[in-house]
Structure 1
């Protein structure tokens, strides 16, 4: 009895060995084609977002004062929060340090909570854009 079981398993192993060279996986080539109008729609959407959203963006002001302290505040902010943009704007007679470009006030509020730990006088505002 044992001899028959050994013979079957040996035949099975040998046949599997020989057929493994014949068997191969499926090979296919994938071609992705898209309508050229999709690119046109994407550029159109970007233009619309830039025109309408820029007037509705929110920023956080972390400093208002002279240039030396504004640069110091900017570098201090960049060292602690490297994930968001910081700019210094001059509005007579002071320099202002503005942070971020948030789409919603909720997003700005969430970030303000973090920023207030380091800059307690920080606040949210929406800058007025000059129309062309």
Structure 2
């Protein structure tokens, strides 16, 4: 009985092999058409993004002190929060670690609650505008 079952599977395997050899995939060309206004919109979006100064968005300051400790705090923050941009700024006489680039105060406050667990002195602020 076992021999008959093996024989049946063998014939099924051979049949599958020959049928698969004759199978053909579809061939053809794909053409994507888009509205020419999309390119104009993308260019317009690029212009808007260049005009908007990202340094004027809300940020969270997590450290204020010397450079060595600022670098330690920055690396500690980056290891825990990978998705938030981090920078070290020098304002005489201290180095400051600024994190985030938040558009709204609600978004900044949500991150501040998380960040305060590790960095209790953190606070939200708007950086001073650059002089042109």
Q: Same fold, TM exceeding 0.5? A: yes
2:59 maps to 59
Matches within 5 A, 1:1-132: 30-52=30-52, 54=54, 56-132=56-132
In structure 1, distance between residues paired with 2:52 and 2:113? 27
Secondary structure in 2 aligned to 1:32?
coil
Helix, strand or coil at the partner of 1:129: coil
C-alpha contact (below 8 Å) 2:56/2:129 kept by paired residues: no
- How many aligned positions are there? 109
TM-score normalised by L of structure 2: 0.71
CA distance in 1, matches of 2:39, 2:46: 11
**1:87–1:56 distance in 2 versus 1, CA, 3 Å:** closer
Secondary structure at the counterpart of residue 75 of structure 1: helix
Q: Give me the TM-score of the superposition, normalised by structure 1.
A: 0.71
Q: Equivalents in 2 of 1:47, 1:103: separation in Å?
A: 18
Runs (5+) with no aligned partner, structure 2: 1-25
**Greater shift in the superposed pair: 92-101 or 71-80:** 71-80
Q: Which runs of 5+ in 1 are unaligned?
A: 1-25
User: Quick check: which has more Rg, 1 or 2?
Assistant: 1
